[in-house]
Amino acid sequence: MDFLDMLRAASAQNASMLCVGLDPEPTRLPACLHEGPNRLYDFCAAIVDATCDLVCAFKPQIAYFAAHGAEDQLERLMQHMRANAPQVPIILDAKRGDIGSTAEQYAKEAFERYGADAVTLSPFMGFDSVAPYLQYPGKGAFLLCRTSNPGGDDLQNQRLADVEGQPRLYEHIARLAQGPWNRNGQLGLVVGATYPAEIERVRALAPTVPLLIPGVGAQGGDAAATVRAGWRPDGPIIVNSSRAILYASSGKDFAQAARSEAERTRAMLQAALPA
């Protein structure tokens, strides 16, 4: 199955719009894992096993592994997810964005080395920096559009004077992702849960592309408002929570606590669906 098929199937099977972000910070890991040489892998694998029947996707963030020379642990984690949760698509959160020849290498990293089903990208350098990822049939690519951080206003909320109607930059990106850039139906958009009005605007401009929505949980995004703004019958949403689930407990019960928080968040999201 391609990424969208996997996403729809996992969402239906697990009755879920929840994505668990795998962002392991060594200083925040439970004490029982602090000394292990494979502690990033051990921690994330336990979270995966505890939540894989509650989610529509997992989203490992590459920087949390690469910063500690732990790419081998990320590779093992990807293999673990493939073996133990094969029905759940994996979005590699890499936010790459570079010229075509370099993008080809980044695409190979995401899809061949790590075996991701989708990847996050910056569209700032234009379509030729995105195109190499679309050469992988069935893989997904999520373009940063209206992100959850306050600094997103610096560029994303600025108007484009030389484009008809003077849309804001994030609106222009949404139109490109719904239209001319989405040649094989592989594109999605990243929009932050901290801006529900902008989610609704993006959804109006891009009614069918999947939306990856971070910011629920530790960042304070309103889960119910997020679903109301972004979910449509033909437009799936993937609502990410990382820290609130990962660090629900610092004790030996961390995996069970993560499961409990994931159950709570999934239920909150499902309750916001229209009757």
Tokens of 20: 């668990």
Considering only the C-alpha atoms of the chain, give the largest distance between any 2 of them, rounded to a whole number of Å.
58
Of 95, 108, 139, 252, the active-site residue reads: 95
The dihedral region occupied by 189, where left means phi > 0, alpha psi between -120 and 50, and beta the remainder, is beta
In 3-state terms the chain splits into helix, strand, coil percentages (rounded to 5) of 45, 15, 35
> In this structure, are residues 246 and 24 in contact, taking their beta carbons and an 8 Å threshold?
yes
Sheet holding 57-60, edge to edge: 57-60, 18-22, 237-241, 211-213, 187-191, 140-146, 118-121, 91-96
List residues bridging with 119 in a β-sheet. 92, 141
- Rounded Cα distance, 188 and 121, in Å: 10
108 is catalytic: no
Residues with catalytic function: 95
